[in-house]
Structure 1
Amino acid sequence: MRYLPTLQLLLVAAAPIRAAFSWKNVRFGGGGGFSTGIVFHPTTKGVAYLRTDIGGLYRLNADDSWTPVTDSLATDAEWGSWGVDAVALDPQNPDKVYAALGLYTNDWEPKMGSIVRSSDRGATWSRTRLPFKVGGNMPGRGVGERLAVDPRNSSIVYFGARSGNGLWKSVDGAASFSKVSTLANTGTFVPDPTDVSGYQSDKQGLTFVTFDSTSALLNGATSRIFVGVADNTTASFYVSNDAGSTWAAVPGQPKAYFPHKCKVQPTEKALYLTYSNGLGPFDGTLGGVYRYDLTNGSWKDITPVSGSDLSHGFGGLGVDMQKPGTLLVASLNAWWPDAQLFRSTDSGATWTRIWEWANYPEQKWHYGLNTDNAPWINAGFISQDTKRIGWMIEALEIDPLDSNHWLYATGLTVYGGRDLTKWDGPNRNVSISVMANGIEETAVLGLASAPGGSELLAAVGDVSGFTFKKTSDLDTPPMEPWMGPKFITTTDVDYAGNRPGNVVRIGNAQGAKEVAISTDGGVSWKAHPGASDTAHSGTAVLSANADTIVWSSANGGVLRSQNQGTFSAVASLPSGAVIASDRADNAAFYGGSGGHFYRSTDTGATFAAVSGALRSATAVRDIAAHPKIAGEVWVSTDIGLLKSVDYGMTFTPVGAGSLNNTHQIAFGLGAGSAWNVYAVGTGAAGVKLYASPDNGASWVDIQGDVQGFGNLSGVKLAGSGNSEGVVYVGTNGRGVFYAKGVVAGGKEEMTTTFVTTTVKATKTVTPTTATPAITSPVTTSAASAPSTATASTVPTAAAQHWAQCGGTGWMGVTACASPWTCQPQNDWYHQCL
């Protein structure tokens, strides 16, 4: 136990309010999502950028790592800025970079898109708002680039829009744009006209803008420009020979497919194009690769495969600027057995492959594959599947200044190497490595930090999830994702308050058991024997002693399993309810739906609504139980935070007026073994992430103006249960951020509430038995929970071992469960010992 003397209390109370925390990524490593495009600067070595569909823009570093450069743009008000639909560099100035930002073109995105520009390689940005939306996470997001800078006039920038908005031009370096009305074809193809959401039924628009750097100047501008269009019936490839004044379909072009990529090889005076019969990134069953002669306007079909081998389209295209006639192309979505990369050194007349069949089904690989930068990629994916090269390969580039340096991106990671020319030798064997160090592009759906258990448990979309046992592990990519079973997407994770080694997680697939349990803090797992093969997704919580799981599923209502038994319906809690378990009292569970609060005193078997508990609130966003104090539960609502110290029987507003319209809320170990509260809401600094060291009496903006977290209403929060001042933020696109700092409050810290919360003696709760409760469940006596579920009565429950039972200003339970007695520790804090 530890106590703070009165003098130290006064010093803490007088401490100034601290500035925002300094944030960094928890290192999953390996990227984890779909990187849609890579662009090298044509004349300056080492300058390259990578765009992602939901994780922003990254700049390449000299050591092959990447630095995110758009985090400051992705504020809550501009959360779509992590969707990057196109990127362009100024060939005349390596410091200038442009990007088209916006996540969706349908109603999911509230704001119009924008073109951002930087003159210092992404350190600072200026934004130009467009009169339409941009779709960095829409179908067709891997084509391009839709954005291009005139190679001989830095003031001229073109953007090919989606949604039938056509071609747009800037003559002032992207400070403003106007529509090019002379290009009539706006790309009206839609993948699925019947999709009422607007996601698959939006017009795909233009696919790329490419300048012919070999063409003449006309009034200070490059005269010849090519544009790709999502139209596979009339024409998909257009040219202007008068610097964009007029446009015409290029004669002799392929018409059956959609053009994805278009690259100029100036020495050859040739264009290379890849085509697919789908816009991607998931579709495409046929396609081709073509060479267009810029001198005589002739076309040549150089597709690497034909006949039955042609079962896919083509996406990624890399052209070697140092070795004319050398190029790489990638299959687009060759789902079995693997993607294929093709290389030609004679302008596409002949091709070789990165792998080929030996004695079927054996493959002969002409490459070595290294995943040391992210070992979990091999453990969880490559070793579990035939797809080693990858899938969804739209980004594929050869460094224009180094024929050995190449990069390509998949739906999972970024690969590359620095010995590409070994492909051309008689014993060809190139080295491929994961080159995604610094790229953190995952959607985090759940977070937990267990006091006395694993430091961080992260439920992640598309890549299952990860366990970090200690704070010191946060900068080391995990050896493997959550496996045995491996859910492709894990929607939630939770731990048992009194037995933190026990963990539960939920998957989102159908046709399998989508509940997994662990007794070693998330290191190893097994499928829950009582789960069905129909219910999936949603959130789940463990009782304090780990013998009961309550699961608010996506398609089966609220379910309950006890002692690993079959899940059964909890009829007394509405479907889709927000749920939480008491961290210290095994029998107590909490729920919220609409403006109603529910509580259970029988380990989640039944729930009763507490009449009027949440006052005028109409939406429960989150519920958090105190990590150590039985019966203390906080509810986040549209009117702010409400707190109960009597198992949800009564609630009082927290910091009334200082933090409103709150969303996620979490507890984390604070200074001197007190507990900080973290919450997303509207406070003095606007909609931000705030922290309170004094039980909600005062709130400090710990997010600041530099670090964006995207849409704050959708982030996941966890305060560290083991390290003072550490807090985690799970984002939709940039993985998990964490920071460490001291949260200093104002004069409010001198109030009784502050003293009660932060000065109390704190002792780590050690379970009385080391037997994992999931495998050996413990039955809790009735005395460990409130004695009644009646919503209108005062609770008669007994406080549990280590819980608070009295002290100055204490309004909660004063009786202790047998054999414990309430013993004063100081004037403000009495404890059951």
Structure 2
Amino acid sequence: MNPIKPLLGALLGAQLALAAAAGAAPRLAEQPYSWRPVEIVGGGFVDGFAFQPAVPGLSYARTDMGGAYRRDSATGRWQPLLDFLPLRDVNLMGVESLAIDPNNPDALYLACGTYTNPAVPNGALLRSSDRGKTFQRTDLPFKLGANEGGRGNGERLAVDPNDGRVLWLASRLNGLWRSSDAGASFQRVDSFPDAAWQRNDNDGPPPGWGGSDGKATINFILFDPASGTRGQPTRTIYAGVSVVGRPSLWVSTDAGASWQPLPRAPTRHRPMRATLASDGHLYVAYASEPGPHRMRDGAVWRYDVREQSWADITPDRPSPTDPFGYATVTVDPANPQRLLASTAGRGRGDQLWRSTDGGATWRSLFTDARFDAAAAPYVADTHLHWLYDVKIDPANPDHALFTTGYGGWETLNLRDADAGKPTTWRVMSTGIEETVALALHSPTTGVPLVTAIGDYSGFVHADLDKPAPGNPKPPFFGNTHDVTGAELAPEVIVRIGHARDGGKNLGYSLDGGATWREPKSVPAGKPTGDGFIAVSADGQTWIWTPKGGTPHVSHDHGDTWTAVQGLPAGTRVIADRVNPKRFHAMALFDNQLFGSTDSGLSFTARPLALPDGPATRAAAGSNNRSDRGDDRGGQDRLYATPGREGDLWLAAFHGLYRAGNGKAFKRLPSVSEIHAFGLGRAAPGAKDPTLYLVGTVAGQYGIFRSTDSAKTWRRINDDAHQWGLILQVSGDPKVFGRVYVGTHGRGVLYGDPK
């Protein structure tokens, strides 16, 4: 073993302290705000659970890009644990693995790191001694991939049940690691053979982002508590490796000093998850791919540790016409004969199987199950999928949970199935918000907010504190890329996105979001739904700019479309918020402004002359990010001022500018970086709207508000509410001080002054 010291201060130099460092620059004045989630519920992949066996009701959840949560046992609501992470540590919002110490109810460990590509920082272990209220950080000398293929496998991080000082961490690219000081430092386990986990020529090329966990694939660590004594490291440890055609299950019987392949273990498929029952049986779920996407094949096997014999106990056989794998198998801590196993990647929806005889026979639970989606009505439109973790509550054998790609479900009558009765399942994700907000629209009258959400369409939020009754449709979108409305006719709302089931990629409402329609046609070339939509102040003119495509204009609610003249392909257009005939556009890096006074039929160009020189083009990055921020964010865009014709704000990544009607842009002081920008209702007595900005002001990063046209700013968030990457911000035109914040993986928040 080669000791590696924690890389303190490395990679963006960020400690996770909640207080400002001594000697830091003076902080801007702050305006305290109260923050609450805009209730969507779930919306992303909750890929792992953990029950704390020492404390009934105490449980945790991890997500692939939206942090970790602890459940409030009194209310059932999940409490976010990583909202303090700032932008510089956004890579840590993805939780690769989660571990508890079964003998220390206050200990919690999170292995954090979202991607393994070279452009992102290394991962880190966050360790807590107070159930996630505060954390200490250990920087790791390798990367983790919480939002990559195989992210539902696990657990890769585990605490020795006999010695809480000992942690094991299975990496994707750098082998197996061990800590003997409760995660303060890690050492590489050189005794685990490299040939066991490194890819070779027989493995074939690694699949893409969605279906592979990369080049090296140790995906779980499992202890046999009976092989050790309290206070000493456990002797028997199992490790699963995501390979096929060669040994994939390894065992150590000397606390990790040496490792051998588990005798006669199956090698046709990859091990996904495993569980060890108290009667000495090891259960393993297998699949052809690491997931979480479609599978070709899979199985469930049982290993008798004492007899060293294997039995195939697969509940239902995949076939070429019905391909799928198995994601997990779990055992009831109170009874080693009671099991649950879940399929993965089944096209018509996944299945959960129940056994009460150690896998000899199985019963399908979903055939007659009842599902209650009241806590998140939109999930009724999505079949059950990505059941990559299933757990039975050690304190209540009737209570079980399973993950999905949009949160998770739970039952409180699991054992009814053993008597042939149906089980009842309900959404259990309240408090978990893991969506990506691609656009926000707050109309001048009517509902508070309309959201454009990645993967799960978007919502009309009539009540910010209650989930919407479902997604707006028709059409039914997957991603909604943009949504906006008419300043003077707020009943008109238009959205674009990726339509499902053959629908058109645009939908509109003429009654403030109560009902929706599809247009008769879409622009030539069948635009994909990416890009931007602009709606004139009176709602009669729509300009759709597909990503990289020719802008088109409609004056008849999408019955017909005409190519816009005078605009380069891909140019985002915004409506003037006073004059219905006027539109504005910008080519920032080509130093051009464009204006239309004929309802969007044509645009005239004029030079864009910034007082401090042209903007510099962004250098290419990864995962939508470049040296000018995330390309889905609100930076490098024009914004029109409500109530002032031709009055524009340019929220460039490197600063804020303003231009009156036809005048040159002037740079506003103090702002040095912008990631999101928006306007809201003016303060009492103020002439201009309130400004909201996510970025750096006077050398400080945060969310800021100005009520005096950017002369002064106040920070409105605090260090406990940072949410990693923020893509969008918008004020509410109806309520002074109310602001909406759209994050990358932590949903949408709304804030009001305290």
Aligned to 1:584: 578
Distance 2:453 2:732 in 1: 18
Aligned to 2:541: 548
Q: Does 1:406 align with 2:400?
A: yes
Structure 1: any 5+ residue segments left out of the alignment? 1-15, 356-364, 743-833
Contact 1:167 1:186 in 2 (8 A): no
C-alpha change, 1:449 and 1:310, in structure 2 (3 Å) is: closer
Distance 1:214 1:412 in 2: 37
C-alpha change, 1:612 and 1:192, in structure 2 (3 Å) is: farther
C-alpha change, 1:684 and 1:287, in structure 2 (3 Å) is: same
Q: Does 1:594 align with 2:578?
A: no
Aligned to 2:370: 368
Aligned to 1:52: 63
- The one-letter code matched in structure 2 to 1:249 is P
Distance 1:538 1:682 in 2: 27
Aligned to 1:339: 350
Partner of 2:60: helix, strand, or coil? strand
C-alpha change, 1:394 and 1:117, in structure 2 (3 Å) is: same
Aligned to 1:608: 604
1:289 to 300, 304, 316: 300
Partner of 1:710: helix, strand, or coil? coil
Q: CA deviation at 1:310?
A: 6.9
C-alpha distance after superposition, 1:386-439 (max 9, x if no partner): x3xx0111011101121001101111231011111101014x111111111111
1:260 to 267, 272, 275: 272
Aligned to 1:174: 183
Contact 1:447 1:456 in 2 (8 A): yes
C-alpha change, 1:460 and 1:612, in structure 2 (3 Å) is: closer
Q: Does 1:422 align with 2:416?
A: yes
Matches within 5 A, 1:286-685: 286-306=297-317, 308=319, 311-336=323-348, 338-355=349-366, 365-378=367-380, 381=381, 387=383, 390-426=384-420, 428-469=421-462, 473-509=463-499, 512-532=503-523, 533-564=526-557, 565-595=559-589, 596=591, 597-615=593-611, 616-618=613-615, 621-647=636-662, 649-654=663-668, 656=669, 658-672=670-684, 674=686, 675-684=689-698
Q: Does 1:111 align with 2:121?
A: yes
Q: Does 1:134 align with 2:144?
A: yes
Q: CA deviation at 1:219?
A: 8.6
Q: CA deviation at 1:43?
A: 2.8
- The one-letter code matched in structure 2 to 1:269 is G
C-alpha distance after superposition, 1:88-144 (max 9, x if no partner): 00111111111111111114x521111111111111111111112111110110000
Q: Does 1:81 align with 2:72?
A: no
C-alpha change, 1:670 and 1:189, in structure 2 (3 Å) is: farther
Contact 1:262 1:274 in 2 (8 A): yes
Contact 2:212 2:291 in 1 (8 A): no
Q: TM-score, normalised by structure 2?
A: 0.88
Aligned to 2:12: none
RMSD of Structure 2 on Structure 1 (CA): 2.2
Partner of 1:79: helix, strand, or coil? helix
Contact 1:106 1:197 in 2 (8 A): no
Q: Does 1:69 align with 2:97?
A: no
2:716 to 702, 711, 736: 702
Aligned to 1:761: none
Distance 2:200 2:520 in 1: 47
C-alpha change, 1:182 and 1:417, in structure 2 (3 Å) is: same
Q: Percent of aligned positions with the same letter in both sequences?
A: 35
Aligned to 2:742: 730
Q: Does 1:205 align with 2:222?
A: no
Q: TM-score, normalised by structure 1?
A: 0.80
Contact 2:474 2:517 in 1 (8 A): yes
Aligned to 2:751: 739
Contact 2:211 2:291 in 1 (8 A): no
Distance 1:126 1:695 in 2: 40
Q: Does 1:248 align with 2:260?
A: yes
Contact 1:189 1:204 in 2 (8 A): no
C-alpha change, 1:716 and 1:367, in structure 2 (3 Å) is: same
Structure 2: any 5+ residue segments left out of the alignment? 1-27, 618-634
- The one-letter code matched in structure 2 to 1:676 is T
C-alpha distance after superposition, 1:694-719 (max 9, x if no partner): 1000111112211123224xx11110
Distance 2:224 2:156 in 1: 15
Q: CA deviation at 1:555?
A: 4.6
Aligned to 2:631: none
C-alpha change, 1:307 and 1:547, in structure 2 (3 Å) is: closer
Aligned to 1:788: none
Q: CA deviation at 1:604?
A: 2.1
Contact 1:100 1:116 in 2 (8 A): yes
C-alpha change, 1:82 and 1:219, in structure 2 (3 Å) is: closer
Distance 2:728 2:200 in 1: 37
Distance 2:550 2:208 in 1: 26
Q: CA deviation at 1:194?
A: 7.5
Q: CA deviation at 1:726?
A: 0.3
Contact 2:29 2:713 in 1 (8 A): no
Contact 2:450 2:461 in 1 (8 A): yes
Contact 1:218 1:242 in 2 (8 A): no
Q: CA deviation at 1:187?
A: 4.6
Contact 1:578 1:621 in 2 (8 A): no
C-alpha change, 1:43 and 1:298, in structure 2 (3 Å) is: farther
Q: CA deviation at 1:598?
A: 2.3
C-alpha change, 1:67 and 1:609, in structure 2 (3 Å) is: same
Partner of 1:72: helix, strand, or coil? coil
Partner of 2:92: helix, strand, or coil? helix
C-alpha distance after superposition, 1:71-93 (max 9, x if no partner): 112x1000112211110001111
- The one-letter code matched in structure 1 to 2:137 is R
Distance 2:158 2:390 in 1: 18
Q: CA deviation at 1:218?
A: 10
Distance 2:318 2:328 in 1: 21
Task: Give runs of ≥4 in structure 1 deviating > 6 Å.
Answer: 189-192, 194-199
Contact 1:316 1:330 in 2 (8 A): yes
Contact 2:282 2:305 in 1 (8 A): yes
Contact 1:460 1:490 in 2 (8 A): yes
Q: CA deviation at 1:590?
A: 1.5
Distance 1:206 1:594 in 2: 46
Q: CA deviation at 1:285?
A: 1.9
C-alpha distance after superposition, 1:126-184 (max 9, x if no partner): 11111121111101100000000000111110110112x11011111111111111112
